[in-house]
Amino acid sequence: MNDKTKYQIMKNREFLKGYHAGDAGAEQTDQEQKLPGISSLKRKKHRNVIPLPAEFNKLGISGDIWDLIMGRESCRKFLPEELTLPELSFLLWATQGIRKFAGNKNPITFRSVPSAGSRHPLETYLFANHVKGLEKGAYHYLPDEHALERWEVEDDYDAQLTRALCGQHFAAAAPALFVWSALPYRTEWRYGLKAAKYILLDAGHMCQNLYLAGGSIGCGVCAIGAYDQDYMDEILGFAPGPSDNPLYECTVYAACVGKKKRNASDA
């Protein structure tokens, strides 16, 4: 390991840490300075959206929490079966769905997953490859409407997606691929330098919900951390960083989903 790498690793280790007693006199956060924050809901691009079914009682959600946790494993081989729209709807709800709104002037959302300060910095993009009732393509999830909007990507994105996933074709070709981005300023506004750590913690909770919710409806999931940052951001149309734009957005995580084969773990 050369000195430059060692230095960067030491800096990264510091990033893992929480508050230090000496931080008390540090610069005020933007919230403390009474600067306006940004919404935890990205403004939709399209008027026409695809509403998602919200009755989950017909899905046959099964398993007690013990079975779901014991049976949780990463799945990289899927049955050649489509996901259904109610199944996908449930998985989107389980990962970013809104349980309640609070506040009037600057409403905040409480969702199916925890988030530091309920800032909810994450957005969900979905590549639907085999979902019954949903045209193949990319979508953006709108948690407040529990709906999807089309997201403009090239029609024939398969090869691009495999490249963006560092050659992981099983994930690119899965019935559904969730790609999660962060708008860091949502969290930075309140937590300043601690925000990056919290955003990644939020992402972990969310993906675990996808594993458990998937397991409850016979779906397998594989978390994907190995992706090409620049290429994935380009596919989704995010401006390249570094940037101090409050609306700056970048990919942080992904996961693929499909109907589960028995003995599907292939780690």
Ligand X SMILES: Cc1cc2nc3c(=O)[nH]c(=O)nc-3n(C[C@H](O)[C@H](O)[C@H](O)COP(=O)(O)O)c2cc1C
What is the amino acid identity at position 55? E
In terms of C-beta density within 10 A (0-12 exposed, 13-18 middle, 19 or more buried), how is residue 203 classed? buried
Residue 225 interacts with ligand X (CB under 6 A): yes or no: yes
Q: Which residues pair with 83 in a beta bridge?
A: 131
Candidate list 222, 232, 235, 250; residue touching ligand X; CB under 6 A: 222
Of 86 and 215, CB closest to ligand X: 215
Q: Which two tokens stand for residue 59?
A: 């899905």
Q: Smallest gap, in angstroms, from Cβ of residue 2 to ligand X?
A: 25
Of 31 and 160, CB closest to ligand X: 160
With contacts defined by CB under 6 A, name the span among 27-35, 47-55, 88-96, 219-227 that binds ligand X.
219-227
Identify residues 155-174 at the interface with ligand X (CB under 6 A).
168
Length of the chain: 267
Candidate list 122, 176, 224, 236; residue touching ligand X; CB under 6 A: 224
Residue 69 interacts with ligand X (CB under 6 A): yes or no: no
**CA-CA distances (angstroms) from residue 175 to 59, 77, 134, 233?**
18, 11, 11, 21
Q: Which residue is nearest to ligand X (CB)?
A: 225
Number of residues that bind ligand X (CB under 6 A): 11
Positive or negative torsion for Cα 242, 116, 209, 109: negative
Of 148 and 217, CB closest to ligand X: 217
Candidate list 226, 237, 240, 245; residue touching ligand X; CB under 6 A: 226
Q: Are 227 and 197 in contact (CB under 8 A)?
A: no
Q: Is the peptide bond before 240 cis (omega within 30 degrees of 0)?
A: no
Residue 223 interacts with ligand X (CB under 6 A): yes or no: yes
Question: What are the residues whose beta carbons fall under 8 Å from the beta carbon of 24, sequence distance 6 or more?
Answer: none
Q: Smallest gap, in angstroms, from Cβ of residue 104 to ligand X?
A: 37
CA distance between the termini of the chain: 27
Binding site for ligand X (CB under 6 A): 73-74, 76, 168, 222-226, 265, 267
